């Protein structure tokens, strides 16, 4: 009877945990993986384009955070809050300042008159389309694999606000975190596997892709 009671309590705990997962409340109370991307080194090798460009990053992208939940016998039970938007926006701005001679950060899409008065040659708009994370653990080899599927929608406009290009950019970021038998049940159970590098990888890839697209669109 005691074993049966324990089993029932475990089922209740699991059900409550599942409901909490489904609720998916976005809070800042979870584990915040470190996300510190860097610019691809090839961006610094690009010849700066002699243009004054306005950069409009959707506010929803800048503030974007993603909640993910994990329940695993090896990794433990965790709630992660991936702060994706801020480092992504920062890297886009850094890239723009690297490949254009002058960049103005915009809060709204400028009219033709404003573009003429401010001397803007082009406007780049960036918004978030999709962000999907896969957090897995291969228990047999004590390995955690994180994947981040990221898609941005980007427009590049001329002085008349006509599209030079309007397209989606998609990448897959990936990371692997490995522990040994002595670490199992310790670090992972407390702080979870290190999945932040998967987001870093996706950000670095998509920012480099955007740099290439902008450079090609201007004939460089």
Our CA angle for 65, 195, 173, nearest 5°, is 85
What is the pLDDT, as a whole number, of residue 160? Answer: 87
The full set of domain ranges for the chain reads: 26-217
Average pLDDT per block of 10 residues along the chain, 220 residues long:
41 38 53 96 92 97 97 89 98 97 95 87 97 92 93 95 94 91 68 95 98 86
Decide: 92 and 57 in contact? Cβ < 8 Å. yes
Cα–Cα distance measured from residue 76 to residue 103, given in angstroms and rounded to the nearest whole number: 45
Q: Which one is the CATH code of 26-217: 2.60.40, 3.40.50, 3.30.2010, 3.30.160?
A: 3.40.50
Q: 109, 126, 103, 123: which is closest to 203 by C-alpha? A: 126
Structural tokens at position 203: 């950000």
What is the pLDDT, as a whole number, of residue 27? Answer: 52
Beta bridge partners, 116, equal none
What is the pLDDT, as a whole number, of residue 9? Answer: 38
Beta bridge partners, 74, equal none
pTM for the predicted model, two decimal places:
0.84
Enter the DSSP assignment of 218: T
Decide: 165 and 183 in contact? Cβ < 8 Å. no
What is the pLDDT, as a whole number, of residue 181? Answer: 60
Structural tokens at position 210: 């955007």
What is the pLDDT, as a whole number, of residue 182? Answer: 63
Cα–Cα distance measured from residue 103 to residue 212, given in angstroms and rounded to the nearest whole number: 17
Structural tokens at position 175: 């990371």
What is the pLDDT, as a whole number, of residue 135? Answer: 96
């Amino acid at each position: 009877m005691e074993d049966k009671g324990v089993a029932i309590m475990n089922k209740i705990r699991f059900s409550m945990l599942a409901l909490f997962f489904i609720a998916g409340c976005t809070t800042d109370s979870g584990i915040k993986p470190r996300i510190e991307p860097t610019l691809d080194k090839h961006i610094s090798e690009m010849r700066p384009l002699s243009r004054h460009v306005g950069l409009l990053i959707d506010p929803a992208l800048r503030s974007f955070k993603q909640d993910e939940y994990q329940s695993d016998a090896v990794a433990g039970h965790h709630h992660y809050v991936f702060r994706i938007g801020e480092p992504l926006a920062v890297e886009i701005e850094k890239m723009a300042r690297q490949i254009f001679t002058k960049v103005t950060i915009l809060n709204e899409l400028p009219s033709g008159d404003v573009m003429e008065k401010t001397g803007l040659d082009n406007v780049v708009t960036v918004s978030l389309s999709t962000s999907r994370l896969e957090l897995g653990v291969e228990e047999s080899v004590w390995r955690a694999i994180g994947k981040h599927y990221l898609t941005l929608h980007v427009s590049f406009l001329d002085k008349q606000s006509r599209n030079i290009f309007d397209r989606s950019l998609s990448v897959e970021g990936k990371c692997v975190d490995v522990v040994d038998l002595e670490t199992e049940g310790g670090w992972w159970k407390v702080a979870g596997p290190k999945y932040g590098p998967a987001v870093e990888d996706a950000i670095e890839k998509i920012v480099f892709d955007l740099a290439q697209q902008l450079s090609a669109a201007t004939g460089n």
